Amino acid sequence: MSSESEVRSRYLALALDARKVIDALIVFVDKGERQGDFDQSLQDAVTSLQAVKEKKEIFSPSRNLLAFSEYYEQVRTVDEALKPTEREQIVEKLLTVKTQSADLKKQQDDAFEAIKLLSTIESRALYYYRPQP
């Protein structure tokens, strides 16, 4: 019999995955560096955020690169934390950074906006995860 903690850990997985992308973007905004698997992290986030809208993706066994859309609790948290337009904004801004389709200043501004939105998801997920005293 699985426990409630299993459900709670889905929120933690979401927070950790949002954090992964935030950390990569912080270095980019601060130093202009694309460290390690920067592009892949961004692409994984884009894929996972877009997956919510694709029915076929919901049932795909291999789709879950990041935990924005693996479980209902995660989808609902993203849904609550961000308006649909904000979700689209993250995807758009991450793609601008990933494809380098603007000058560096614009990319860094977009990255900073994406950090703010992803941080909202992270905070909300941590809120649901933590036991309240």
Partner 1 sequence: MTSEQRPLNEWALERDAGALFSFVDSICRHCHSAGESPSYLKSSKKFFKYINELGDATKEYLSTFPSKKPNEPRLYQYYRQRLETIRSGWFEIHLLIKSAADADTLNVPYALVEAFTRRLNRVQGFEDTTFAIFHIDELNYWEIPASEIKQTTDKFKRYIPDPPQFPNVGMIGIPYSQSSSLYLNCLIAHEMGHYVFEKREVKEKLLPYIEAALEDVIGKHFEAANDVTLQWSKDRLAAWAEELFCDLFAVWLIGPSYSFAYIELFGLTAILDPTDPSGFSVTTGAGSAIFSAEHPADLLRLKQHVSLLQELGWWGEVDEIKSHYVNVLRSSAKVNQDIFEYRHKEMPLASETIHAFLRLVPQVSIRLADSMKGPGGRKLDTGLASYVKFSACIGQYLERAVVPSTVFQEDEHWYPDDVAILNASMKFYLESLETLMDGIKGQKKFLAGHRSRWIKRVEALAGKAIEDYQLLAGETGAVRIDGSFKRADLRSPESADL
Q: Please, what is the Cα angle at 118 between 114 and 119, to 5 degrees? A: 115
Buried b (16+ CB within 10 A) or exposed e, 25-37: beebbeeeebeee
* Separation CA 3–CA 100 (nearest Å): 44
Which position has the token pair 């592009």?
39
Which stretch in 12-20, 42-50, 88-96, 99-107 sits in contact with partner 1 by CB under 8 A? 12-20
Size of the site for partner 1 (CB under 8 A): 45
Contact set for partner 1, span 27-66 (CB under 8 A)? 27, 29-31, 52-53, 55, 58-62
Contact residues: partner 1, CB under 8 A: 1-3, 5-7, 9, 12-13, 15-17, 19-20, 22-23, 26-27, 29-31, 52-53, 55, 58-62, 69, 71-72, 75-76, 79, 112, 115-116, 119, 122-123, 126, 129-131
